[in-house]
Amino acid sequence: MSVDHTSSTYSEVKRHAFVLNLFAIVGLSLTAAMGILAFMRGDSPLGFSLMIASLVYLLAYLFQHITGKIIISSAVIIFSLYTLMIYLVYSGGVENTGPLWIFLVSPVALFIRGLKQGLVETSIFLSIVFLIMFVPGEFFSNESYIPEFRIRLMLSFLTVTFLSACYEYSREQSQRYTLELNKQYEKLAHYDQLTTLANRRGALKKLEIEQPSMIRQRDSLSVIVCDVDHFKKINDRYGHNAGDAVLVQLAQIFKQLIRGQDMIARWGGEEFLFILPHTSAEDAAIVAQKIHGALRNETILYQETKIPVTVSMGIEIMQPDQTIDEVINAADNYLYQAKREGRNQTFPRLDVPIPVVL
């Protein structure tokens, strides 16, 4: 079973959106409740500030829920958090307990903004808090905090920030490792290890992608099934390692003869499948002729031994009402016809100019 690394990325985005929504809901609930309590105590400035923060969280939640744009809503949430925390430190909140809420900043900022950006923004936030706490002057109201409280608050915040950074670093490393592992699994699932070509599963995936496009655009798509002639004799005479070397060198030759939009797959054993989008049967026949010409001109070597190699091929152009299996089976039938007719040729025989292979 293949593991698509994009699915892991999608799961991470969904998890990020879920936590973001959860934080927005919790934030708007807490700030709304605390705002009401502040109004009841007669602290209107604090009450208005908390209710505005609650409204911002609500709008950010609704925006993300409706549009799905996580980046914008996360930026709104985190900067409203910074603003509210700075206000609580500046004003003191209730009974000078406002600064105690700043411990929310580090874990939330690092999760929402990522390790590097989160640390930068947290450092800026900490600098502003430091100015409020320690710089004397009429603008700041730091006289209401005793020195021991200010020092312990800053040290505690730095400790929480360090631990949050360690956790976020570990989480990002784990995510990066998982994505890389998924890429390797996908490569193993869709590529042949010997030739580094696509394997049968990768070829079928390519055809499943190309077929709807071909039908929609009324375009042509051709396939070539290619089989190495007398491959068993090569293995018997030169050894299986020589047979593997032949397949590897053939893969390299074939890759030089196709376009970037085409695909070659190791279909199985000594069989190869060429998938040629936007290619008529005549153009596919020209590709086949190029392959025959290249093998006449190329020398396949194994341990300084020249191994003569020829191939037989069958061509089929996909019709809108054909299934993928029907197309490949039709090309396969032409391949066996080529073998019955003496090998080292392509069926159906099409009247196309013989290309010059340099």
Using CA atoms, how far apart are residues 77 and 92, in angstroms rounded to an integer? 22
Asked whether 286 and 353 are in contact (CB, 8 A), the reply is yes
Looking at this protein, which amino acid is placed at residue 3?
Answer: V
Catalytic hit among 180, 270, 271, 282 = 270
Annotation marks residue 270 as catalytic: yes
The tens-digit pLDDT sequence of the chain (358 residues) is 344 445 555 566 777 778 788 888 888 898 899 889 889 988 888 889 889 989 988 998 888 888 878 888 888 889 999 999 999 998 888 888 889 999 999 999 998 888 999 999 999 999 999 988 888 766 555 557 888 999 999 999 999 999 999 999 998 898 888 888 877 777 777 889 899 999 999 999 999 999 998 888 889 999 999 999 999 999 999 999 999 999 999 999 999 999 999 999 999 899 999 999 999 999 999 999 999 999 998 888 998 889 999 999 999 999 988 999 999 999 999 999 999 999 999 998 776 555 544 4
Using CA atoms, how far apart are residues 112 and 216, in angstroms rounded to an integer? 42
First and final CA of the chain: distance in angstroms?
A: 42
Q: Token pair for residue 331?
A: 């090309």
- Domains of the chain in start order, with CATH, are 5-187 (no CATH), 200-347 (3.30.70.270)
Looking at this protein, which amino acid is placed at residue 241?
Answer: N
